[in-house]
Each structure stands twice: as C-alpha cells, then as structure tokens.
Amino acid sequence: MTSQVGAGFRADPRLCAGILLFALFSGSVSAQSFPVEPAAGHLRILSWNIELLGNRNPPRSDAQLLALADRLLGFNAAVIAVQEITSTGNPPRRPALDAVLERMGADWQAVITGINGFIYDTTRVELLSAQALAQLQSPPYSSFYTDFPNWQQDFGNSGAPFSNGSNLSETAVFRELSSAVSFRVISNHFHFGQTFGFIRAYEGEAVRIYVEELLSEKAEADLIFVVGDFNAQPGSSPHPELAVNDTLSRVPKANSNNTGILNAGEVDLDHVYVTEGAWDAIDGASAFVIRPEDYDETPEAFEATYSDHAPVFVDVSLQGVAVASAYSGSWYDLSHEGEGWLIEILENGVAVVYWFTYDAEGRQMWLVGTGTLVGDTLTVDELFVTGGAVFGDGFDPADVTREVWGSLVIVFSGCDTATLSYTSISGFGAGDFELARITTLAELACLTGH
C-alpha cells in the first residue's frame, strides 16, 4: 500500500468528505458528529469494547442493559465486533448478553467464544464461519513462549500474548445478503498495561502474519477488517507490527481521535485496520467515533450505562466487489450441450480460455487463447486452433501448427452467469452464447457483488 503517513496510517483525498461531515455537524453539541445512517448501498461495521459486559461491579441494572440494546440498534450497524463480553460457568453462560440480544430482537445473533466476538443482524448479513484464533499463540505466528520460557515467573499468568488463551482474537466471515459479497472481520482486545507493550508487539505481529497467510492463499476476497481495543495509541505496539509489509493500513478517524471516556482518559485506543481491497470499499476512507456528546450525554452518564470506551465504525460499499479468480471453472451454454469452455484466471488479471467445439465437418476442435480480465470483462484478442501433429509415439512438437481462429469477449454478470461474444476470421462468422457455470474450484468462493 502506498501513501503511508506514520506507522500504519494511510492518507487519502476521500478523507476530506469525512472532515466535511464533522465540520457540518460540529456547530451543535446535540448533533451527531458521525453519519447517523450508512449511505444507500453501504454496510456499517462497528467495533466496541462494552466494558466487562456480564462482570461489572456493580452489575448493570436491567434498565441499563435495555438502554445498551437500544443504543446498539441505533448505531445502524450490520456487524458489531465486541470486546470484554464475559461469561460464567462451563459451558459459558452470558446472561447480560442474552438480555441485550432479547431486547434487540430475533433478527440479531451473537457468536462469541471468549471475550471477543460479534453481534450481527441476520436480515443484512449471513455468518459463514467463525473461529477463536488460538493458533496465534504459537509458531509461525508467535515465538513468545520460546523467547520467554519462564514467562509465568517473569510476568504472571496473564502476562502472555492473548492473556495465555483467555483473550483470543475472534474472526468471522460474513456475507452481505444484498450484494452476496463476503468479508472477514477480526475482533481484538490487545494486551493492556503500559509495561506490556512488548506483548502487544507479539500480538500485532501474530495477527498480521495470519492476515498475510489468508491473502497468500487467495481463497477469499481481499476484504479484511482488523478492529477492536488496541490498548495503545498510534505509534505504539501493536500498530507498527500490524503495518509491516503494508499488509494493513489504519483507517483515519474523521471526527475525533478520542475513544476514551472517563477511566480510559482522553486517548485513542480503538481502531480499524484494513487490507488493500477493504480500503477501497470504505466510504470516505474514514472511520468515525461515537462520543457521549453526540447524544447530549455527560461522560459520567455514558460510562455508567455503556462503557469506558467509545464505539468506532466504518461504512463500506461492497457492490461490485469480486474475486476475479473465482470465475475460474467450466462453463457451457444450455442450448449447446456437448460444447463448453474452461476458464482459468491467473495472476495479474491474465486469463486462459479453452473452447471445446467442432469444425464444419463435425470433427472435434479445440480453441485456446490468453487474454486479460478487467473488471467483469475478459478479452481474448487471439484464439488459436492447433493441428499437424499425431497422437502417441509419433508425436513431434515440430509438426504442431497454430492458426489464429478469431477472438472473443466474455462479460460476467454474476458468479454463475456470463455472456460470450466471438468473431471468427476462419469462416465461422460471429455470434453470442449465454454461459452458465458447471463447476467451481474448491475453497475459492465467488464473492461478486452482482
């Protein structure tokens, strides 16, 4: 990623839109300094450390839990990454969270393994998978336990990355129902305390390596959001570790850099980091903080009911986002059974198309060409037909002839549909086919927004 300003920070002209919104609203204390609703076609991803939900002393009252539920609904988010959701017993019980979800309604569900997880609106997104990232404590993600074999003696039982397993990062993959595009969110609560910055460094490195691994596998879209309570201001670990190799960029906040309320103080502890593809989907290239003054509340009242942290969110537009390589597979025209195409999407938008068809005498004819994929359009300027050689022991590469047969253009209208247009210079004229997918590649989800 380019245009880095400081560790992990990315500047973008679209930030001006967010700053303008702040300027428009800042004249009145009671006016929200953030977009109250996402723009049309946008989805809101919000992160909030809901301070010790389920284990506060004194506990939140029933009225406070209902107010918390109403506030969560009012944020208009489809996915809410949460931190500090505590539980009791085995299997874990979370009565405070259950009360909040009951108030929010049957459309809202939660997936939480430890203290980090997600609350999501099933009318807007579908949960595809979720996992507590226990593997981040071990190589190749972290070498902490090798570097500090006596860590318990030196730092105490919780003095290890992810609090020795009790504070694991949680990841989930969601699909937006309106666009059919999938995206991943990782909810984090990095280690607390000024003396444990070196542990946050291990945690940040582990999360970044995990994201790099996901991207290298090319099994999902480059739409990854790393969010949560970082327990550190920009410039301190885990920020530099997350920004290594330009894997992730921190999304600048348009209206406030203060996510603390009272106990946390005036500090910038809660953040959103994204991959390249996710950056391009963010509305205005900006994150927003929701402050007590946005609701005419005092910090004391806000913290008493809600949290010592302020929520942070981004609005994203997933319409038209696609994983180009997911178009790879076999295709055919329903009216032309016995004829078909094999499409391979390679690196850097290069594509290979094989056309299995017949010549004018009814003999099998294979056409092959290399082209480029730009957006939803694959163009092959030269399709070749080969001949001259014979099968088996008599095959001689020198006998192979290659003749240009023509060209074709394929326009993908969805994960499983496309239109193919061809032009032949070998006497077959021009025409069109309506293609349907027959097969897909394993573990390569089509995430197109069509």
Contact 369, 353 (CB under 8 A): yes
CA dist., res. 26 & res. 45, Å (int): 23
Token pair 């880095």 is at which residue? Answer: 4
Residue 417 lies in a domain: yes
Residue 447 lies in a domain: no
**Residues 360 and 281 occupy one common structural domain:** no
Among 316, 346, 369, the domain-final residue is: 316
CA dist., res. 89 & res. 91, Å (int): 6
Would you say residue 13 has pLDDT above 60?
A: no
Each residue's pLDDT tens digit, 152-183: 999 988 899 999 888 999 999 998 888 778 89
Please give the pLDDT value at position 22: 39
Each residue's pLDDT tens digit, 206-263: 999 999 998 887 555 689 999 999 999 999 999 999 999 999 999 999 999 999 998 6
CA dist., res. 230 & res. 347, Å (int): 35
Mean pLDDT (the chain) is 88
Q: Is 410 exposed, middle or buried (0-12, 13-18, 19+ CB in 10 A)?
A: buried
**Side chain identity, residue 173:** V
Residue scoring higher pLDDT (67 or 32): 67
**Side chain identity, residue 125:** V
Please give the pLDDT value at position 444: 60
Residue 449 lies in a domain: no
Q: Which structural domain, as residue segments, surrounds residue 235?
A: 15-316
Residue 444 lies in a domain: no
Please give the pLDDT value at position 331: 96
**Residues 266 and 337 occupy one common structural domain:** no
**Confidence band of 21 (pLDDT split at 50, 70, 90):** very low
**Confidence band of 385 (pLDDT split at 50, 70, 90):** very high
Span 335-354, average pLDDT? 90
Per 3-state DSSP, the chain is made up of helix, strand and coil in percentages (nearest 5) of 25, 35, 40
Each residue's pLDDT tens digit, 72-104: 999 999 999 999 999 888 778 899 999 999 999
**Residues 180 and 266 occupy one common structural domain:** yes
Contacts of 128 (CB under 8 A, 6+ apart): 172, 173, 174, 175, 182
Please give the pLDDT value at position 6: 43
Residue 105 lies in a domain: yes
Residue scoring higher pLDDT (444 or 355): 355
Please give the pLDDT value at position 15: 46
Among 316, 340, 357, the domain-final residue is: 316
Span 379-393, average pLDDT? 94
**Confidence band of 374 (pLDDT split at 50, 70, 90):** confident
Please give the pLDDT value at position 67: 97
Residue 102 zone, left/alpha/beta (φ > 0; ψ -120 to 50; rest) = alpha
**Residues 298 and 348 occupy one common structural domain:** no
| Helix or strand run (H / E) with residue 143 | none
Cis peptide before 35 (omega within 30 of 0): no
**Residues 196 and 87 occupy one common structural domain:** yes
Span 388-398, average pLDDT? 92
CA dist., res. 112 & res. 91, Å (int): 12
Q: Count other C-beta atoms under 10 Å from residue 302's C-beta.
A: 21
Residue 442 lies in a domain: no
**Residues 46 and 73 occupy one common structural domain:** yes
Contact 95, 149 (CB under 8 A): no
Would you say residue 291 has pLDDT above 80?
A: yes
**Residues 279 and 364 occupy one common structural domain:** no
**Residues 250 and 380 occupy one common structural domain:** no
What strands lie across the sheet with 270-274, from one edge to the other? 125-132, 170-176, 182-189, 224-229, 270-274, 249-250
Residue 275 lies in a domain: yes
Instruction: State the total domains in the chain.
Output: 2
Residue 189 lies in a domain: yes
For residue 105, the domain's CATH number is 3.60.10.10
**Residues 373 and 415 occupy one common structural domain:** yes
Among 262, 297, 316, the domain-final residue is: 316
**Residues 226 and 336 occupy one common structural domain:** no
